[in-house]
């Protein structure tokens, strides 16, 4: 009996689903714009963004010039955002705030455009053109709406995007260190420090620059070693001044001690040569 009842319940569910699909297909084919729009809003409010989006794609252009045009475009943008269609949602939200700049939804639309761009930003290993576009958009939003209720989230988005660019730039410099091109590593890591002084990777870059300079000095021809080891000392002094409690303190101190030992060795060799020539 229970098994039979469960089969009936399943059958009823299938019939209701089929009826729902049938009604939806009729709506898609209908020429009744108002009925389609009302159904789209209903689907949206129920969280059925796919059906809402399809209906809104059909009716939004037909509502241009009507009182419902503004809300229809916002629903269309929002439905695409909820489905993860960020390329489309960005375009629709941008269209909204440029078309309805005085709307009470203009600020929200501009912020949602920012979020759409933010969600298009790829992983740091990939090309970051869209990340720069997102940074421009969120900066414009913060300048236009400095008192916005979304300001805290916008600030976090900006920080995340800048950190991603920092990571890409750091990894580009770190690559030279990794493949043991120490001279190029010193230049690249120094450039990173200058261009990204507030980066969370700045301290690591400073440490790697010291290590790279030390290795570069060791590999140098004898008559160039002294000046290059002295550069290690300069980098070390700058590091301990800027990062007195660094997690790399022990490592840089060891490099510094090794550098002083190398300078002492070079000094002794000079003295021996001078004595031999006297």
Model pLDDT for residues 69-103, shown as the tens digit of each residue? 999 999 999 999 999 999 999 999 999 999 999 99
* Domain range enclosing 244: 165-278
Instruction: Say yes or no to pLDDT of 3 above 90.
Output: no
C-alpha to C-alpha distance for 239 and 236, rounded to whole angstroms: 5
Confidence band for 248, pLDDT divided at 50, 70 and 90: very high
Both 174 and 268 in a single domain?
Answer: yes
C-alpha to C-alpha distance for 110 and 96, rounded to whole angstroms: 8
Does 101 map to a domain?
A: yes
CATH number at residue 243: 1.25.40.10
- The residue out of 105, 138, 157 marking a domain boundary is 105
Both 100 and 169 in a single domain?
Answer: no
pLDDT above 90 covers a percentage of the chain that reads: 83
C-alpha to C-alpha distance for 261 and 272, rounded to whole angstroms: 16
C-alpha to C-alpha distance for 72 and 56, rounded to whole angstroms: 7
Which alpha helices (DSSP H) does 100-201 contain, by range?
106-120, 129-144, 151-178, 182-195
Q: Which residue has the higher pLDDT, 155 or 278?
A: 155
Instruction: Note the pLDDT tens digit of each residue in 125-179.
Output: 899 999 999 999 999 999 999 999 999 999 999 999 999 999 999 999 999 999 9
Query: Tokens 């209908």 appear where?
Result: 30
Does 10 map to a domain?
A: no
Does 185 map to a domain?
A: yes
Which pLDDT does position 86 carry in this prediction? Answer: 98
- Mean pLDDT score of the chain: 91
Mean pLDDT check: name the lowest of 39-43, 107-111, 193-197, 268-272. 268-272
Which pLDDT does position 129 carry in this prediction? Answer: 95
Both 172 and 93 in a single domain?
Answer: no
C-alpha to C-alpha distance for 37 and 101, rounded to whole angstroms: 23
Our CA dihedral for 226, 212, 194, 199, rounded to 10 degrees, sits at -150
Query: Tokens 């939806």 appear where?
Result: 24
Both 76 and 169 in a single domain?
Answer: no
Helices and strands counted in the chain (H then E): 12, 0
Instruction: Say yes or no to pLDDT of 18 above 50.
Output: no
Does 142 map to a domain?
A: no
Both 182 and 83 in a single domain?
Answer: no
Instruction: Say yes or no to pLDDT of 15 above 50.
Output: no
Which pLDDT does position 8 carry in this prediction? Answer: 52
- The residue out of 82, 105, 128 marking a domain boundary is 105
Which pLDDT does position 21 carry in this prediction? Answer: 60
Total-model pTM: 0.79
Does 157 map to a domain?
A: no
Both 77 and 170 in a single domain?
Answer: no
Instruction: Note the pLDDT tens digit of each residue in 196-234.
Output: 999 999 999 999 999 999 999 999 999 999 999 999 999
C-alpha to C-alpha distance for 25 and 125, rounded to whole angstroms: 44
For 110, the token pair is: 């501009």
C-alpha to C-alpha distance for 241 and 41, rounded to whole angstroms: 61
Both 94 and 169 in a single domain?
Answer: no
Q: Does residue 22 contact residue 53 with C-beta atoms inside 8 Å? A: no
Instruction: Say yes or no to pLDDT of 19 above 50.
Output: no
- The residue out of 88, 105, 122 marking a domain boundary is 105
CATH number at residue 64: 1.25.40
Does 24 map to a domain?
A: no
Smallest CA-to-CA distance from 170 within 217, 204, 211 is with: 204
The per-residue b/e assignment along 162-175, b for 16 or more CB within 10 angstroms, e otherwise, is: eebbbbbbbeebbe
Both 97 and 181 in a single domain?
Answer: no
Both 169 and 277 in a single domain?
Answer: yes
Which residues have C-beta within 8 Å of that of residue 214, sequence separation ≥ 6? 229, 232, 255, 258, 259
Does 207 map to a domain?
A: yes
Does 156 map to a domain?
A: no
Q: How many domains does the chain have?
A: 2
Q: Which residue has the higher pLDDT, 137 or 6?
A: 137
**φ and ψ of 126, to 5 deg:** -90, 175
């Amino acid at each position: 009996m229970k098994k039979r009842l469960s089969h009936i319940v399943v059958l009823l569910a299938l019939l209701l689903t089929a009826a729902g699909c049938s009604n939806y297909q009729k709506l898609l084919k209908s020429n009744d714009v108002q009925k389609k729009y009302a159904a789209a809003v209903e689907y949206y409010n129920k969280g059925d963004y796919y059906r809402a989006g399809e209906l809104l794609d059909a009716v939004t252009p037909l509502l241009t010039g009507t009182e419902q045009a503004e809300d229809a475009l916002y629903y269309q943008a929002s439905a695409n955002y909820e489905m993860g269609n960020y390329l489309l949602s960005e375009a629709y939200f941008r269209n909204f705030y440029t078309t309805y700049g005085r709307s009470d939804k203009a600020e929200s639309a501009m912020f949602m455009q920012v979020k759409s761009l933010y969600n298009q930003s790829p992983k740091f290993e990939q090309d970051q053109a869209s990340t720069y576009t997102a940074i421009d958009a969120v900066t414009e939003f913060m300048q236009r709406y400095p008192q916005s209720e979304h300001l805290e989230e916008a600030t976090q988005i900006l920080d995340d995007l800048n950190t991603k660019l920092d990571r890409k730039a750091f990894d580009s410099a770190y690559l030279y260190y990794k493949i043991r091109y120490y001279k190029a590593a010193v230049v690249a890591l120094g450039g990173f420090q200058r261009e990204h002084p507030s980066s969370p990777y700045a301290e690591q870059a400073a440490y790697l620059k010291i290590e790279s300079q030390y290795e570069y000095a060791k590999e140098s021809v004898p008559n160039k070693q002294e000046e290059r080891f002295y550069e290690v000392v300069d980098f070390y002094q700058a590091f301990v001044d800027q990062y007195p409690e660094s997690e790399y303190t022990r490592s840089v101190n060891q490099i510094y001690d090794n550098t002083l030992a190398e300078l002492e060795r070079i000094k002794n060799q000079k003295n021996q040569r001078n004595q031999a020539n006297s």
